[in-house]
A and B are shown apart, each in its own frame.
Chain A
Amino acid sequence: MSVVVLGAGMHPWGKWGRPFTEYGVAAAREALSDAGVGWGDVQYVVGAATIRNGYPGFVAGATYARALGWSGARIASCYAACASGAQAIDIARTRILAGLCDVALVVGADSTPKGFFKPVGGERPDDPDWLRFRLLGATNPAYFGLYARRRMALHGSTPEDFAAVKVKNALAGSLNPMARYRGTVTAEEVLASPMVAEPLRLMDICATSDGGAALVLASSAYARRRGATDAVRLAAVSTVTPTFPSTVLELPEFATDSRAAVPAPERPFRAAVAHAAYEEAGLGPREVSFAEVYDLSTALELDWVEDVGLCPPGEAEKLLRAGDTALGGRVPVNPSGGLASFGEAIPAQAIAQVCELTRQLQGRAGGRQVEGARVGLAVNQGLFGHGSAVIATR
Protein backbone atom coordinates (compact mmCIF):
# COMPACT_ATOMS: atom_id res chain seq x y z
CA MET A 1 0.00 0.00 0.00
CA SER A 2 1.39 3.39 -0.91
CA VAL A 3 0.21 6.94 -1.41
CA VAL A 4 0.30 8.51 -4.84
CA VAL A 5 -0.10 12.00 -6.25
CA LEU A 6 -3.24 11.87 -8.34
CA GLY A 7 -3.24 15.55 -9.24
CA ALA A 8 -1.20 18.74 -8.80
CA GLY A 9 -2.23 22.33 -9.25
CA MET A 10 -0.75 25.79 -8.73
CA HIS A 11 -1.75 29.42 -8.88
CA PRO A 12 1.16 31.40 -10.36
CA TRP A 13 3.47 33.13 -7.86
CA GLY A 14 3.48 36.93 -7.83
CA LYS A 15 2.68 39.95 -5.68
CA TRP A 16 -0.92 41.11 -5.99
CA GLY A 17 -2.09 41.38 -2.37
CA ARG A 18 -5.36 39.57 -3.10
CA PRO A 19 -6.96 37.26 -0.49
CA PHE A 20 -4.89 34.09 -0.02
CA THR A 21 -8.07 32.00 -0.32
CA GLU A 22 -8.32 32.98 -3.97
CA TYR A 23 -4.88 31.53 -4.74
CA GLY A 24 -5.52 28.36 -2.72
CA VAL A 25 -8.89 27.68 -4.30
CA ALA A 26 -7.53 28.21 -7.83
CA ALA A 27 -4.72 25.74 -7.09
CA ALA A 28 -7.15 23.26 -5.51
CA ARG A 29 -9.53 23.35 -8.47
CA GLU A 30 -6.63 22.81 -10.85
CA ALA A 31 -5.35 19.87 -8.79
CA LEU A 32 -8.82 18.28 -8.74
CA SER A 33 -9.14 18.74 -12.48
CA ASP A 34 -5.65 17.32 -13.01
CA ALA A 35 -6.64 14.29 -10.90
CA GLY A 36 -10.02 13.88 -12.56
CA VAL A 37 -11.55 13.86 -9.07
CA GLY A 38 -14.70 15.77 -8.21
CA TRP A 39 -14.67 18.03 -5.14
CA GLY A 40 -17.54 16.00 -3.73
CA ASP A 41 -15.38 12.85 -3.84
CA VAL A 42 -12.67 14.33 -1.58
CA GLN A 43 -12.90 12.71 1.84
CA TYR A 44 -10.27 14.72 3.69
CA VAL A 45 -8.94 18.28 3.31
CA VAL A 46 -5.76 19.57 4.93
CA GLY A 47 -4.93 23.26 4.82
CA ALA A 48 -1.41 24.53 5.49
CA ALA A 49 -1.97 27.63 7.62
CA THR A 50 -0.77 31.19 7.06
CA ILE A 51 -0.15 33.41 10.08
CA ARG A 52 -0.27 36.77 8.28
CA ASN A 53 -3.86 36.65 7.06
CA GLY A 54 -5.97 36.64 10.21
CA TYR A 55 -8.26 33.93 11.53
CA PRO A 56 -9.12 32.39 8.12
CA GLY A 57 -5.39 31.77 7.69
CA PHE A 58 -5.11 29.87 11.00
CA VAL A 59 -8.03 27.60 10.10
CA ALA A 60 -6.91 27.13 6.49
CA GLY A 61 -8.47 23.68 6.10
CA ALA A 62 -11.92 24.99 6.94
CA THR A 63 -11.36 28.16 4.91
CA TYR A 64 -10.64 26.21 1.72
CA ALA A 65 -13.41 23.68 2.39
CA ARG A 66 -15.90 26.50 2.82
CA ALA A 67 -14.68 28.37 -0.25
CA LEU A 68 -14.95 25.22 -2.37
CA GLY A 69 -18.46 24.62 -0.93
CA TRP A 70 -19.14 22.77 2.33
CA SER A 71 -19.14 19.12 1.38
CA GLY A 72 -19.09 17.36 4.73
CA ALA A 73 -15.45 16.25 4.26
CA ARG A 74 -13.23 15.86 7.30
CA ILE A 75 -10.68 18.65 7.66
CA ALA A 76 -7.42 19.58 9.38
CA SER A 77 -5.22 22.67 9.49
CA CYS A 78 -1.57 22.76 10.43
CA TYR A 79 1.23 25.27 10.84
CA ALA A 80 4.92 24.34 10.79
CA ALA A 81 6.59 27.49 9.47
CA CYS A 82 8.20 26.84 6.07
CA ALA A 83 7.49 23.11 6.45
CA SER A 84 3.72 23.70 6.83
CA GLY A 85 2.99 22.35 3.37
CA ALA A 86 5.05 19.21 3.90
CA GLN A 87 3.34 18.55 7.22
CA ALA A 88 -0.04 19.00 5.56
CA ILE A 89 1.03 16.42 2.97
CA ASP A 90 2.20 14.10 5.75
CA ILE A 91 -1.06 14.39 7.67
CA ALA A 92 -3.08 13.48 4.57
CA ARG A 93 -0.63 10.72 3.67
CA THR A 94 -0.74 9.06 7.07
CA ARG A 95 -4.55 9.18 7.12
CA ILE A 96 -4.60 7.40 3.76
CA LEU A 97 -1.97 4.90 4.94
CA ALA A 98 -4.07 4.25 8.04
CA GLY A 99 -6.97 3.30 5.79
CA LEU A 100 -9.15 6.09 7.14
CA CYS A 101 -9.65 7.64 3.70
CA ASP A 102 -8.85 6.99 0.04
CA VAL A 103 -8.48 10.45 -1.39
CA ALA A 104 -7.41 13.73 0.17
CA LEU A 105 -6.84 17.32 -0.92
CA VAL A 106 -3.88 19.33 0.44
CA VAL A 107 -3.84 23.11 -0.06
CA GLY A 108 -1.45 25.92 0.90
CA ALA A 109 -1.51 29.57 -0.12
CA ASP A 110 -0.23 32.90 1.12
CA SER A 111 -0.59 36.61 0.52
CA THR A 112 2.49 38.44 1.84
CA PRO A 113 3.17 42.06 2.73
CA LYS A 114 5.95 44.01 1.00
CA GLY A 115 9.45 44.04 2.48
CA PHE A 116 11.06 42.01 5.28
CA PHE A 117 8.92 39.50 7.12
CA LYS A 118 7.99 41.02 10.49
CA PRO A 119 6.96 39.21 13.65
CA VAL A 120 3.26 39.04 14.44
CA GLY A 121 2.23 42.42 15.94
CA GLY A 122 1.86 43.55 19.56
CA GLU A 123 4.31 43.68 22.46
CA ARG A 124 5.35 40.06 23.01
CA PRO A 125 8.66 39.91 24.93
CA ASP A 126 8.24 36.16 25.58
CA ASP A 127 8.36 35.38 21.84
CA PRO A 128 11.92 34.91 20.51
CA ASP A 129 10.68 35.85 17.03
CA TRP A 130 9.56 39.25 18.38
CA LEU A 131 12.65 39.69 20.56
CA ARG A 132 15.20 39.06 17.83
CA PHE A 133 13.80 42.04 15.93
CA ARG A 134 13.44 44.20 19.04
CA LEU A 135 16.90 43.58 20.53
CA LEU A 136 19.05 42.84 17.49
CA GLY A 137 17.22 43.91 14.34
CA ALA A 138 17.96 40.38 13.16
CA THR A 139 15.81 39.86 10.03
CA ASN A 140 15.65 36.55 8.16
CA PRO A 141 18.26 37.76 5.62
CA ALA A 142 20.61 38.51 8.56
CA TYR A 143 20.68 34.79 9.40
CA PHE A 144 21.14 33.94 5.70
CA GLY A 145 24.08 36.38 5.69
CA LEU A 146 25.62 34.62 8.71
CA TYR A 147 25.40 31.23 6.96
CA ALA A 148 26.84 32.64 3.73
CA ARG A 149 29.82 34.29 5.49
CA ARG A 150 30.44 31.10 7.44
CA ARG A 151 30.46 29.14 4.17
CA MET A 152 32.98 31.58 2.67
CA ALA A 153 35.25 31.16 5.70
CA LEU A 154 34.99 27.35 5.81
CA HIS A 155 34.98 26.48 2.12
CA GLY A 156 36.36 29.51 0.30
CA SER A 157 33.10 30.26 -1.51
CA THR A 158 32.98 33.60 -3.28
CA PRO A 159 30.26 36.12 -4.16
CA GLU A 160 30.79 34.99 -7.76
CA ASP A 161 29.79 31.44 -6.77
CA PHE A 162 26.65 32.76 -5.13
CA ALA A 163 25.84 34.81 -8.23
CA ALA A 164 26.26 31.70 -10.40
CA VAL A 165 23.52 29.97 -8.38
CA LYS A 166 21.13 32.83 -9.14
CA VAL A 167 22.03 32.79 -12.83
CA LYS A 168 21.36 29.03 -12.96
CA ASN A 169 18.03 29.24 -11.12
CA ALA A 170 16.82 32.27 -13.06
CA LEU A 171 17.41 30.38 -16.30
CA ALA A 172 15.32 27.45 -15.03
CA GLY A 173 12.65 29.84 -13.73
CA SER A 174 12.43 31.52 -17.12
CA LEU A 175 11.05 28.20 -18.39
CA ASN A 176 8.41 27.89 -15.63
CA PRO A 177 5.06 29.63 -16.22
CA MET A 178 4.29 29.40 -12.46
CA ALA A 179 7.40 31.38 -11.42
CA ARG A 180 7.16 35.03 -10.33
CA TYR A 181 10.45 36.06 -11.92
CA ARG A 182 10.68 34.90 -15.52
CA GLY A 183 13.71 36.83 -16.75
CA THR A 184 17.23 35.48 -17.08
CA VAL A 185 19.97 37.37 -15.20
CA THR A 186 23.72 37.74 -15.52
CA ALA A 187 26.32 37.37 -12.77
CA GLU A 188 27.18 41.04 -13.26
CA GLU A 189 23.60 42.02 -12.48
CA VAL A 190 23.61 39.94 -9.28
CA LEU A 191 26.95 41.40 -8.17
CA ALA A 192 25.74 44.94 -8.89
CA SER A 193 22.47 44.57 -6.95
CA PRO A 194 22.32 46.38 -3.58
CA MET A 195 23.93 44.77 -0.55
CA VAL A 196 21.26 43.65 1.96
CA ALA A 197 23.05 41.52 4.56
CA GLU A 198 26.78 41.11 4.02
CA PRO A 199 27.84 39.18 1.95
CA LEU A 200 24.41 38.75 0.36
CA ARG A 201 22.92 41.14 -2.16
CA LEU A 202 19.30 41.68 -3.10
CA MET A 203 19.45 39.14 -5.93
CA ASP A 204 21.01 36.52 -3.64
CA ILE A 205 17.99 36.57 -1.33
CA CYS A 206 14.56 35.13 -2.02
CA ALA A 207 11.60 37.50 -2.14
CA THR A 208 8.31 37.11 -0.26
CA SER A 209 5.50 36.21 -2.62
CA ASP A 210 1.84 35.43 -3.10
CA GLY A 211 1.00 32.00 -4.46
CA GLY A 212 -0.97 28.82 -3.99
CA ALA A 213 -0.36 25.11 -4.52
CA ALA A 214 -2.44 21.99 -4.06
CA LEU A 215 -2.20 18.22 -4.39
CA VAL A 216 -4.74 15.45 -4.61
CA LEU A 217 -3.32 12.42 -2.80
CA ALA A 218 -4.83 8.96 -2.95
CA SER A 219 -4.18 5.36 -2.02
CA SER A 220 -2.57 3.40 -4.84
CA ALA A 221 -5.65 1.15 -4.86
CA TYR A 222 -7.96 4.13 -5.40
CA ALA A 223 -5.65 5.40 -8.16
CA ARG A 224 -5.70 2.00 -9.87
CA ARG A 225 -9.50 1.87 -9.73
CA ARG A 226 -9.51 5.17 -11.58
CA GLY A 227 -7.08 3.88 -14.18
CA ALA A 228 -3.99 5.70 -12.91
CA THR A 229 -1.56 2.80 -12.93
CA ASP A 230 1.69 4.73 -13.21
CA ALA A 231 1.10 7.56 -10.75
CA VAL A 232 3.91 9.37 -8.93
CA ARG A 233 4.44 7.71 -5.55
CA LEU A 234 5.29 9.49 -2.28
CA ALA A 235 8.15 7.30 -1.09
CA ALA A 236 8.96 9.32 2.03
CA VAL A 237 8.01 12.40 4.01
CA SER A 238 10.40 13.40 6.79
CA THR A 239 9.63 16.12 9.31
CA VAL A 240 12.20 15.33 12.01
CA THR A 241 13.41 17.91 14.53
CA PRO A 242 17.07 18.74 15.16
CA THR A 243 18.92 16.48 17.60
CA PHE A 244 20.40 18.00 20.77
CA PRO A 245 22.75 19.78 20.76
CA SER A 246 21.82 21.74 17.63
CA THR A 247 25.05 23.62 17.01
CA VAL A 248 24.00 25.80 14.05
CA LEU A 249 22.38 29.13 14.94
CA GLU A 250 18.81 28.65 13.67
CA LEU A 251 16.13 31.26 13.01
CA PRO A 252 14.86 32.91 15.22
CA GLU A 253 17.28 31.89 17.99
CA PHE A 254 19.73 34.00 20.00
CA ALA A 255 22.10 31.12 20.59
CA THR A 256 22.82 27.53 19.69
CA ASP A 257 22.46 24.63 22.09
CA SER A 258 25.52 23.99 24.24
CA ARG A 259 27.83 21.13 23.42
CA ALA A 260 29.55 21.38 26.79
CA ALA A 261 28.10 18.07 27.99
CA VAL A 262 27.00 16.26 24.82
CA PRO A 263 28.98 16.30 21.56
CA ALA A 264 27.36 17.62 18.36
CA PRO A 265 25.20 15.01 16.62
CA GLU A 266 26.50 13.06 13.62
CA ARG A 267 24.13 14.97 11.33
CA PRO A 268 23.28 18.63 11.65
CA PHE A 269 19.62 19.53 11.17
CA ARG A 270 19.35 19.87 7.40
CA ALA A 271 21.30 16.69 6.78
CA ALA A 272 19.17 14.84 9.37
CA VAL A 273 15.93 15.89 7.65
CA ALA A 274 17.16 14.49 4.33
CA HIS A 275 18.69 11.38 5.90
CA ALA A 276 15.40 10.38 7.54
CA ALA A 277 13.66 10.59 4.15
CA TYR A 278 16.34 8.49 2.45
CA GLU A 279 15.98 5.85 5.19
CA GLU A 280 12.21 5.78 4.84
CA ALA A 281 12.36 5.51 1.04
CA GLY A 282 15.17 2.94 1.07
CA LEU A 283 17.04 5.16 -1.35
CA GLY A 284 20.22 7.23 -1.23
CA PRO A 285 21.62 10.38 -2.80
CA ARG A 286 23.03 8.36 -5.72
CA GLU A 287 19.51 7.46 -6.83
CA VAL A 288 18.30 11.08 -6.88
CA SER A 289 17.56 12.33 -10.42
CA PHE A 290 16.96 15.94 -9.34
CA ALA A 291 16.36 17.95 -6.18
CA GLU A 292 14.27 20.93 -5.16
CA VAL A 293 16.13 22.56 -2.25
CA TYR A 294 15.10 25.55 -0.14
CA ASP A 295 17.28 28.32 -1.56
CA LEU A 296 16.30 31.10 0.82
CA SER A 297 19.61 32.49 -0.39
CA THR A 298 21.97 31.51 -3.20
CA ALA A 299 24.59 30.48 -0.64
CA LEU A 300 22.11 28.26 1.18
CA GLU A 301 21.50 26.25 -2.00
CA LEU A 302 25.18 25.27 -1.89
CA ASP A 303 24.82 24.18 1.76
CA TRP A 304 21.77 22.10 0.86
CA VAL A 305 23.51 20.34 -2.03
CA GLU A 306 26.00 19.00 0.52
CA ASP A 307 23.45 18.41 3.28
CA VAL A 308 21.34 16.13 1.05
CA GLY A 309 24.46 14.18 0.11
CA LEU A 310 24.88 15.10 -3.54
CA CYS A 311 28.55 15.79 -2.76
CA PRO A 312 30.85 15.97 0.28
CA PRO A 313 30.99 19.18 2.37
CA GLY A 314 32.79 22.00 0.57
CA GLU A 315 32.33 20.62 -2.93
CA ALA A 316 29.02 22.13 -3.99
CA GLU A 317 30.80 24.88 -5.93
CA LYS A 318 32.62 22.22 -7.90
CA LEU A 319 29.27 20.71 -8.99
CA LEU A 320 27.93 24.17 -9.75
CA ARG A 321 30.91 25.16 -11.88
CA ALA A 322 30.82 21.84 -13.77
CA GLY A 323 27.16 22.45 -14.62
CA ASP A 324 26.16 19.27 -12.75
CA THR A 325 23.35 21.04 -10.87
CA ALA A 326 22.05 22.98 -13.89
CA LEU A 327 19.26 21.84 -16.21
CA GLY A 328 20.80 19.20 -18.46
CA GLY A 329 23.43 18.41 -15.81
CA ARG A 330 24.00 15.19 -13.86
CA VAL A 331 21.63 16.06 -11.02
CA PRO A 332 19.72 19.28 -11.62
CA VAL A 333 19.04 21.31 -8.46
CA ASN A 334 15.96 23.53 -8.44
CA PRO A 335 14.79 22.77 -11.98
CA SER A 336 11.63 24.73 -11.07
CA GLY A 337 13.75 27.87 -10.69
CA GLY A 338 13.63 27.52 -6.90
CA LEU A 339 12.87 30.26 -4.42
CA ALA A 340 15.16 32.47 -6.51
CA SER A 341 12.46 32.52 -9.21
CA PHE A 342 9.38 32.07 -7.01
CA GLY A 343 9.98 33.98 -3.80
CA GLU A 344 8.53 32.40 -0.71
CA ALA A 345 4.79 31.90 -0.19
CA ILE A 346 5.35 30.05 3.07
CA PRO A 347 2.50 27.52 3.45
CA ALA A 348 2.37 26.91 -0.31
CA GLN A 349 6.08 26.45 -0.89
CA ALA A 350 6.67 22.86 0.22
CA ILE A 351 3.53 21.83 -1.68
CA ALA A 352 4.81 23.66 -4.77
CA GLN A 353 8.06 21.70 -4.46
CA VAL A 354 6.06 18.46 -4.62
CA CYS A 355 4.08 19.82 -7.60
CA GLU A 356 7.44 20.20 -9.34
CA LEU A 357 8.52 16.67 -8.34
CA THR A 358 5.23 15.41 -9.79
CA ARG A 359 5.49 17.29 -13.09
CA GLN A 360 9.11 16.22 -13.57
CA LEU A 361 8.43 12.57 -12.76
CA GLN A 362 5.41 12.59 -15.07
CA GLY A 363 7.59 13.99 -17.86
CA ARG A 364 5.31 17.04 -18.08
CA ALA A 365 7.80 19.78 -17.12
CA GLY A 366 8.12 21.23 -20.63
CA GLY A 367 11.31 23.14 -21.38
CA ARG A 368 12.77 22.43 -17.93
CA GLN A 369 12.20 18.66 -18.09
CA VAL A 370 14.89 16.55 -16.40
CA GLU A 371 15.57 13.68 -18.79
CA GLY A 372 14.72 10.25 -17.42
CA ALA A 373 13.69 11.55 -13.98
CA ARG A 374 12.87 8.61 -11.68
CA VAL A 375 13.53 9.91 -8.15
CA GLY A 376 12.90 13.47 -6.99
CA LEU A 377 13.87 14.97 -3.63
CA ALA A 378 12.40 18.14 -2.11
CA VAL A 379 13.83 19.66 1.09
CA ASN A 380 12.90 22.63 3.19
CA GLN A 381 13.73 24.37 6.45
CA GLY A 382 11.92 26.96 8.51
CA LEU A 383 11.80 28.59 11.92
CA PHE A 384 11.61 26.88 15.30
CA GLY A 385 13.10 23.52 14.31
CA HIS A 386 10.78 22.81 11.41
CA GLY A 387 12.08 21.20 8.26
CA SER A 388 10.96 18.62 5.75
CA ALA A 389 12.13 16.26 3.06
CA VAL A 390 9.89 14.54 0.53
CA ILE A 391 10.99 11.82 -1.88
CA ALA A 392 8.77 11.00 -4.84
CA THR A 393 9.38 8.20 -7.34
CA ARG A 394 8.02 6.93 -10.62
Chain B
Amino acid sequence: MTLAIEGWFVIEEGGTHLIGTRCASCGTVAFPPRSGFCPNPGCESESVEAARLSRRGRIWSYTNACYPPPEPFVAARPYTPVVLAAVELAREGIVVLGQVKGLTVEELEVGMEVELTHGPLADGPLVWMWGPVS
Protein backbone atom coordinates (compact mmCIF):
# COMPACT_ATOMS: atom_id res chain seq x y z
CA MET B 1 0.00 0.00 0.00
CA THR B 2 1.75 3.13 -1.25
CA LEU B 3 0.48 6.51 -0.17
CA ALA B 4 0.77 9.32 -2.71
CA ILE B 5 2.07 11.54 0.09
CA GLU B 6 3.49 10.58 3.49
CA GLY B 7 2.18 12.05 6.71
CA TRP B 8 -0.97 13.74 5.40
CA PHE B 9 -3.35 10.84 6.05
CA VAL B 10 -3.48 7.31 7.45
CA ILE B 11 -5.53 4.31 6.42
CA GLU B 12 -6.66 2.02 9.21
CA GLU B 13 -9.27 -0.65 9.59
CA GLY B 14 -11.53 1.86 11.33
CA GLY B 15 -11.29 4.30 8.44
CA THR B 16 -9.13 6.90 6.73
CA HIS B 17 -7.99 9.92 8.73
CA LEU B 18 -6.48 13.20 7.59
CA ILE B 19 -3.52 14.21 9.74
CA GLY B 20 -3.10 17.86 10.52
CA THR B 21 -1.44 19.67 13.36
CA ARG B 22 -2.97 21.36 16.38
CA CYS B 23 -1.36 24.11 18.42
CA ALA B 24 -1.04 22.99 22.03
CA SER B 25 -1.57 26.55 23.20
CA CYS B 26 -4.40 28.15 21.17
CA GLY B 27 -5.91 25.11 19.44
CA THR B 28 -5.44 26.38 15.88
CA VAL B 29 -5.50 23.47 13.45
CA ALA B 30 -3.53 23.27 10.21
CA PHE B 31 -3.71 21.01 7.18
CA PRO B 32 -1.38 19.94 5.60
CA PRO B 33 0.54 19.29 8.82
CA ARG B 34 3.23 21.85 9.60
CA SER B 35 6.18 21.94 11.91
CA GLY B 36 7.89 24.67 13.89
CA PHE B 37 5.28 27.05 15.24
CA CYS B 38 1.60 27.94 15.31
CA PRO B 39 0.22 29.55 12.12
CA ASN B 40 -1.90 31.96 14.21
CA PRO B 41 0.20 35.18 14.18
CA GLY B 42 -1.29 36.13 17.56
CA CYS B 43 0.06 32.96 19.20
CA GLU B 44 3.67 32.58 20.28
CA SER B 45 3.53 28.81 20.70
CA GLU B 46 6.16 26.58 19.19
CA SER B 47 4.37 23.46 20.32
CA VAL B 48 2.32 21.96 17.48
CA GLU B 49 1.22 18.36 17.64
CA ALA B 50 0.01 15.93 14.99
CA ALA B 51 -3.77 15.65 15.16
CA ARG B 52 -6.33 13.50 13.38
CA LEU B 53 -9.03 15.61 11.76
CA SER B 54 -12.77 14.90 11.81
CA ARG B 55 -13.73 12.21 9.34
CA ARG B 56 -17.03 13.87 8.48
CA GLY B 57 -17.80 17.33 7.18
CA ARG B 58 -20.17 19.28 4.99
CA ILE B 59 -19.55 20.26 1.40
CA TRP B 60 -18.48 23.94 1.15
CA SER B 61 -18.41 23.66 -2.62
CA TYR B 62 -17.66 21.18 -5.38
CA THR B 63 -16.67 20.95 -9.03
CA ASN B 64 -15.17 18.54 -11.53
CA ALA B 65 -12.48 18.40 -14.19
CA CYS B 66 -14.19 17.62 -17.49
CA TYR B 67 -10.84 17.60 -19.31
CA PRO B 68 -7.81 15.60 -18.12
CA PRO B 69 -5.70 17.78 -15.82
CA PRO B 70 -2.09 18.27 -16.98
CA GLU B 71 1.02 16.59 -15.49
CA PRO B 72 2.08 15.82 -12.86
CA PHE B 73 -1.49 14.46 -12.59
CA VAL B 74 -1.73 11.04 -14.20
CA ALA B 75 -5.05 10.78 -16.01
CA ALA B 76 -6.82 7.42 -16.35
CA ARG B 77 -7.42 6.11 -19.88
CA PRO B 78 -10.16 6.34 -20.87
CA TYR B 79 -10.54 9.49 -18.81
CA THR B 80 -13.45 9.88 -16.43
CA PRO B 81 -13.89 13.37 -14.95
CA VAL B 82 -12.24 13.87 -11.56
CA VAL B 83 -14.77 15.19 -9.04
CA LEU B 84 -13.49 17.56 -6.34
CA ALA B 85 -15.12 18.70 -3.12
CA ALA B 86 -14.04 21.32 -0.59
CA VAL B 87 -15.37 20.07 2.73
CA GLU B 88 -15.86 22.13 5.88
CA LEU B 89 -14.89 20.43 9.15
CA ALA B 90 -16.90 22.08 11.90
CA ARG B 91 -14.71 21.23 14.89
CA GLU B 92 -11.47 22.30 13.21
CA GLY B 93 -12.98 25.33 11.45
CA ILE B 94 -11.24 24.55 8.17
CA VAL B 95 -12.18 23.56 4.64
CA VAL B 96 -10.19 20.68 3.07
CA LEU B 97 -10.10 19.92 -0.65
CA GLY B 98 -10.11 16.36 -1.92
CA GLN B 99 -11.15 14.13 -4.78
CA VAL B 100 -14.60 12.58 -4.48
CA LYS B 101 -15.15 8.81 -4.67
CA GLY B 102 -18.45 7.07 -5.24
CA LEU B 103 -20.51 10.19 -5.96
CA THR B 104 -21.04 11.99 -9.27
CA VAL B 105 -21.11 15.75 -9.54
CA GLU B 106 -24.89 15.56 -10.07
CA GLU B 107 -25.29 13.84 -6.71
CA LEU B 108 -23.44 16.53 -4.74
CA GLU B 109 -24.92 19.53 -2.99
CA VAL B 110 -23.45 22.36 -0.97
CA GLY B 111 -24.09 21.55 2.71
CA MET B 112 -24.26 17.78 2.14
CA GLU B 113 -22.45 15.56 4.66
CA VAL B 114 -19.57 13.42 3.39
CA GLU B 115 -17.03 11.11 4.99
CA LEU B 116 -13.32 10.61 4.46
CA THR B 117 -12.17 7.59 2.51
CA HIS B 118 -9.32 6.89 0.12
CA GLY B 119 -8.75 5.68 -3.41
CA PRO B 120 -6.01 5.20 -5.97
CA LEU B 121 -4.54 7.70 -8.40
CA ALA B 122 -4.43 6.31 -11.96
CA ASP B 123 -0.81 5.21 -11.51
CA GLY B 124 -1.47 3.39 -8.24
CA PRO B 125 -0.60 5.39 -5.09
CA LEU B 126 -3.46 6.09 -2.69
CA VAL B 127 -4.82 9.51 -1.82
CA TRP B 128 -7.50 10.72 0.59
CA MET B 129 -10.94 11.16 -0.95
CA TRP B 130 -14.36 12.33 0.17
CA GLY B 131 -17.15 9.79 -0.18
CA PRO B 132 -20.72 9.02 0.92
CA VAL B 133 -21.44 8.76 4.63
CA SER B 134 -21.27 5.09 5.62
Q: A residues near B, CB below 8 A? A: 115-116, 118-119, 123, 125, 130-139, 141-142, 145-150, 152-153, 194-200, 244-245, 247, 249, 253-262
Known interface pairs A135-B127, A136-B84, A260-B28. Does A116 touch B62 (Cβ–Cβ under 8 Å)?
no
| In the complex, B132 has a CB within 8 A of chain A | no
* B97–A261 CB distance below 8 A: no
* B61–A146 CB distance below 8 A: yes
Known interface pairs A131-B5, A254-B96, A255-B94. Does A261 touch B43 (Cβ–Cβ under 8 Å)?
yes
* B5–A135 CB distance below 8 A: yes
Known interface pairs A137-B99, A258-B29. Does A145 touch B111 (Cβ–Cβ under 8 Å)?
no
A199 to B105, CA, bound (A): 10
A-B complex: 3 closest residue pairs judged by Cβ atoms: A145-B63, A137-B69, A153-B110
Partner of A149 from B32, B61, B70, B82 at Cβ < 8 Å: B61
A129 to B75, CA, bound (A): 18
What is the 8 Å Cβ interface bit string for chain B, positions 26-49, against chain A (1 contact, 0 not)? 111111100000011111000000
* A150–B82 CB distance below 8 A: no
A138 to B71, CA, bound (A): 11
A244 to B39, CA, bound (A): 8
Residues of the B chain whose Cβ atoms lie less than 8 Å from the Cβ of A249: 60-61, 86, 95, 97
Residues of the A chain whose Cβ atoms lie less than 8 Å from the Cβ of B62: 146, 149, 198
11 contacts between A and B (CB under 8 A): A123-B72, A142-B69, A145-B64, A147-B61, A199-B63, A249-B97, A255-B94, A257-B39, A258-B92, A260-B27, A261-B40
A196 to B60, CA, bound (A): 20
| In the complex, B14 has a CB within 8 A of chain A | no
* A135–B64 CB distance below 8 A: no
What is the 8 Å Cβ interface bit string for chain B, positions 103-134, against chain A (1 contact, 0 not)? 00100011100000000010000010000000
CB distance from B128 to the nearest CB of A (A): 8
Partner of B72 from A130, A153, A196, A198 at Cβ < 8 Å: A130
CB distance from A114 to the nearest CB of B (A): 11
* A196–B40 CB distance below 8 A: no
A87 to B13, CA, bound (A): 51
* A115–B28 CB distance below 8 A: no
CB distance from B94 to the nearest CB of A (A): 5
* B61–A254 CB distance below 8 A: no
A203 to B103, CA, bound (A): 27
A216 to B68, CA, bound (A): 42
Q: What is the total of A-B residue contacts with beta carbons within 8 Å?
A: 148
* A142–B71 CB distance below 8 A: no
Q: Taking each of A142, A247, A253, which has the highest tally of chain B beta carbons within 10 Å of its own beta carbon?
A: A142
Residues of the B chain whose Cβ atoms lie less than 8 Å from the Cβ of A260: 27-29, 91-94
Residues of the A chain whose Cβ atoms lie less than 8 Å from the Cβ of B29: 258, 260
CB distance from A261 to the nearest CB of B (A): 4
Residues of the B chain whose Cβ atoms lie less than 8 Å from the Cβ of A253: 97
* B93–A259 CB distance below 8 A: yes
* A245–B93 CB distance below 8 A: yes
What is the 8 Å Cβ interface bit string for chain B, positions 51-93, against chain A (1 contact, 0 not)? 0000000001111111111111101000000101010000111
Partner of A198 from B27, B42, B63, B98 at Cβ < 8 Å: B63
Known interface pairs A146-B61, A146-B84, A262-B40. Does A247 touch B95 (Cβ–Cβ under 8 Å)?
yes
Residues of the B chain whose Cβ atoms lie less than 8 Å from the Cβ of A123: 72
A152 to B110, CA, bound (A): 9
CB distance from B131 to the nearest CB of A (A): 15
Residues of the A chain whose Cβ atoms lie less than 8 Å from the Cβ of B43: 261
* B5–A257 CB distance below 8 A: no
Partner of A254 from B4, B31, B110 at Cβ < 8 Å: B31
* A134–B93 CB distance below 8 A: no
Residue of A nearest to B29 (CB): A258
Residues of the B chain whose Cβ atoms lie less than 8 Å from the Cβ of A135: 4-5, 121, 127
Residues of the A chain whose Cβ atoms lie less than 8 Å from the Cβ of B109: 153
CB distance from A158 to the nearest CB of B (A): 15
CB distance from A75 to the nearest CB of B (A): 34
* B28–A255 CB distance below 8 A: no
* B71–A118 CB distance below 8 A: yes
* B23–A261 CB distance below 8 A: yes
8 Å CB interface, B8-32 against A: 23, 26-32
* B5–A137 CB distance below 8 A: no
CB distance from B58 to the nearest CB of A (A): 11
* A197–B110 CB distance below 8 A: no
A315 to B65, CA, bound (A): 29
* A118–B96 CB distance below 8 A: no
